Amino acid sequence: MTDDSTFASLPTADGSARLPACAGADGGRQQRHGAALRFFWGPMDCGKSTMALQMNYNHARQGRRGLVLTRIDRSLGPRITTRIGLAHDAIEVTDDLDLCDLVRGRMAEGVRIDYLICDEVCFYTVRHVEQMAELVDHYGVDVFAFGLATDFRSCLFPAAQRLFELADEVTRIQVEVLCWCGRPGLLNARVVNGAVVREGQQVLIGDTAEGAEVRYQVLCRQHYRAGDLGRR
User: CA–CA separation, 215 vs 67, rounded Å?
Assistant: 30
> The sheet that has 91-92: what strands, in order across it?
91-92, 66-70, 115-118, 142-147, 37-41, 169-172
Cα angle at 226 between 45 and 212, to 5 degrees? 45
Strand partners, 92: 70
Beta strands 115-118 and 142-147, pairing class:
parallel
User: CA–CA separation, 213 vs 204, rounded Å?
Assistant: 12
The stretches of 109-203 forming alpha helices (DSSP H) are: 126-139, 158-166
Q: Kindly list the averaged pLDDT for each block of 10 residues, start to end, along the chain of length 232.
A: 38 41 40 81 91 94 95 75 82 95 96 96 97 96 96 95 97 93 94 91 71 86 95 68
Q: Is 130 a catalytic residue?
A: no
Active-site option among 120, 130, 134, 165: 120
**Amino acid found at 214:** V
Q: Domain ranges in the chain?
A: 5-172, 187-226
Cβ(108)–Cβ(25) below 8 Å: yes
Q: Helix count (H) and strand count (E) of the chain?
A: 5, 11
Cβ(70)–Cβ(120) below 8 Å: yes
**Cβ atoms within 10 A of the Cβ of 199, count?**
7
Per-residue model confidence (pLDDT) at position 72: 78
User: CA of 47: how far to CAs of 25, 38, 198, in Å?
Assistant: 35, 16, 25
Per-residue model confidence (pLDDT) at position 209: 61
Which has the closest alpha carbon to 90: 111, 76, 104, 100?
76
CB-based contacts of 109, cutoff 8 Å, min separation 6? none
Cβ(210)–Cβ(232) below 8 Å: yes
Beta strands 37-41 and 142-147, pairing class:
parallel
**What architecture is the 5-172 domain classified under in CATH?**
3-Layer(aba) Sandwich (3.40)
